[in-house]
Structure 1
Amino acid sequence: MRIVVCDDEPLARERLVRIVKETGHEVVAQAKTGIEAIAAVKSQQPDIILLDIHMPEMDGVQCAQELAKLQHPPALIFVTAYDQYAIAALKANAIGYLLKPANKDELLEALKKATNLNAAQLNEIRKLESPTSRPGREHIAARTHRGVELIKLKDIYYFTADQKYVKVRHKDGIVLIDDTLKELEQEFEDKLFRVHRNAIINVKYLDFLETLDAGQYQLHFKGIDETLAVSRRHLPGLREKIQNI
């Protein structure tokens, strides 16, 4: 998990950083005020933030309220010397509330809870976007180091099978998802087209078909230089599709 640690006390912050690293997670940024924490979250897109409450300029509760306004806020764990802020922490949707000095076991349990919560959130998004509950979804949900990302279908060039996952090539890069090519093809039959047993494409980016040596074919896309192999089985349908564009 990618974690931001925010505490205005250097020793307390260093202690949290050390424990986080000992548990095998990554500290992507440190901050000593709520304002710095918000900037770190926006730039690093962490999965979790460990947040003190009593800090100068902007306290932890105010910081949490601002973070909640982000499109993909990190999971929030308060680490503080004051137990009277537990109710405020709950109102800020914190998933953990640890009293200083937090020990390794307590922090590890809180991080485990955050991991499970992120997985549960992803499942809920998929349920909401499933064909049965919400026909015609316009996004694909993918879990990345930034958390759950929603990628617009109209920005996706193609999907290819990649071992246990499906690789999604979109305008801003590549992500992996758990959906199968068959599920995607059935759900988006009016937008996607299979060109190979391991590949389906977004029809709107279909450009032209190139004939290679030995009777092989490859597909070119509008907007990118990449190509995909086309199988003989799907060649007739693809030719018809190109003629109808």
Structure 2
Amino acid sequence: MNQLRVLIVDDEPLLRRHLQALLAEVWPHASYSDAEDGIAALALLQAQSFDVVFSDIQMPGLDGLGLCKALRQLAKPPLLVFCTAYNQHAISAFELEAVDYLLKPLDEERLHHCVRRIEQRLQQQVSATASLLHLQQLLSQLPSALLATAPQQAALGQSNVQHNVQLAHTADSAAEKDPAGDSAAPLKWIKASLRDTVHLLDVDEVDFFLAEDKYTTVDCAGAQYLIRTPISQLEQHLDPQQFWRIHRGTIVRVKSILKVQRDEFGHMTLQLKTSPTELAVSRAYQALFRQH
């Protein structure tokens, strides 16, 4: 990976320097820039590319949420992390697909957890780009006569792939059945990847699932794994008594919840027993916690 380019956006100079000092401990070779508000940050982002942006939310001029919306218009938007003293914007932040939401004063352990998540996302981007370049290279080496028959071959290949996927699905489903043979039994194990290794995770040890781009992150025992199953499909195979959907992109294991917090604006967040991540509960799912 090339040198990491980080932009820190905050209207407090001391806080910008403090965050840079903390990040420099884990990313000593990164390139750091800073801006005092969203307008100055957007000017920098339009002039050069960055990999990650750490931004406050409440700033004069263009605030952090407005900056996030503007970033999505860039050809290659950077990953975005919000750092703020207020938790009432957490739901809006995750709806805008922020990587993380850190509360001030910053906790170093929590920041390191965020850094690991960023590194995973960046690695996904690198892997996807490498795969695309490799595919383009292979296609460029194919004879033109072979390319002319590609549509027919693709149709045949797709049919075979669909058949193989169906066989794999049938095999996985059979493996996940309980001893009594109940085909609707909830998942007991999940195959998930961490870097270049596939792990078999006990579902009862998972803290939460988080939808991210084309993947779903599985937070288990303090580590973040990746699966390709969409969270809406995954939910259908989880025990609804053990796992609750709390947001359109989040499913949490009930036994992992330490406490529920609500602010004066009615926004609800969950604090977990074994993970520093605070999970936002959308209003559509808050009734779950009023009934229990």
Q: Spell out the pairing of 1:1-12 with structure 2 (5 A cutoff).
A: 1-12=4-15
Q: Spell out the pairing of 1:83-122 with structure 2 (5 A cutoff).
A: 83-122=87-126
Q: Structure 1, residues 22-48: CA drift from partner, whole Å, max 9, x if none?
A: 222424310010011112223331110
Structure exhibiting the larger radius of gyration computed from Cα positions: 1
> Cα RMSD (Å) of the superposition?
2.3
**How many residues were matched structurally?**
140
Determine helix, strand or coil for the equivalent of 1:73.
Answer: coil
CA distance in 2, matches of 1:121, 1:2: 15
In structure 2, relative to structure 1, the CA distance for the partners of 1:110 and 1:98 (3 Å cut) is: same
CA distance in 1, matches of 2:143, 2:68: 40
**TM-score w.r.t. length of structure 1:** 0.52
In structure 2, relative to structure 1, the CA distance for the partners of 1:8 and 1:119 (3 Å cut) is: same
Equivalent of 1:76, from 58, 76, 80?
80
CA distance in 2, matches of 1:185, 1:3: 31
Q: Spell out the pairing of 1:196-207 with structure 2 (5 A cutoff).
A: none
CA distance in 2, matches of 1:112, 1:126: 21
Q: CA deviation at 1:91?
A: 1.5
Mark the runs of 5 or more structure 2 residues left unpaired by the alignment. Answer: 145-292
CA distance in 1, matches of 2:83, 2:143: 48
Q: CA deviation at 1:111?
A: 1.8
8 Å CA contact retained: 2:20, 2:32 = no
Amino acid at match of 1:116: Q
Q: Please tell me whether residue 187 in structure 1 is matched to residue 187 in structure 2.
A: no
Amino acid at match of 2:5: R
In structure 2, relative to structure 1, the CA distance for the partners of 1:111 and 1:43 (3 Å cut) is: farther
Bigger shift: residues 35-44 or 75-84:
35-44
CA distance in 1, matches of 2:43, 2:117: 25
Q: Please tell me whether residue 64 in structure 1 is matched to residue 16 in structure 2.
A: no
8 Å CA contact retained: 1:29, 1:44 = no
CA distance in 2, matches of 1:100, 1:54: 12
CA distance in 2, matches of 1:18, 1:57: 26
CA distance in 2, matches of 1:116, 1:188: 30
Q: Spell out the pairing of 1:1-40 with structure 2 (5 A cutoff).
A: 1-25=4-28, 26-40=30-44
Amino acid at match of 1:24: W
Determine helix, strand or coil for the equivalent of 2:141.
Answer: coil
Q: Structure 1, residues 78-131: CA drift from partner, whole Å, max 9, x if none?
A: 00000000011012110110000112222222122112112223434566x4xx
In structure 2, relative to structure 1, the CA distance for the partners of 1:112 and 1:43 (3 Å cut) is: farther
CA distance in 2, matches of 1:191, 1:94: 44
CA distance in 1, matches of 2:21, 2:31: 9
Identity score, percent: 31
**TM-score w.r.t. length of structure 2:** 0.44
In structure 2, relative to structure 1, the CA distance for the partners of 1:51 and 1:186 (3 Å cut) is: closer
In structure 2, relative to structure 1, the CA distance for the partners of 1:92 and 1:189 (3 Å cut) is: same
Determine helix, strand or coil for the equivalent of 1:79.
Answer: strand
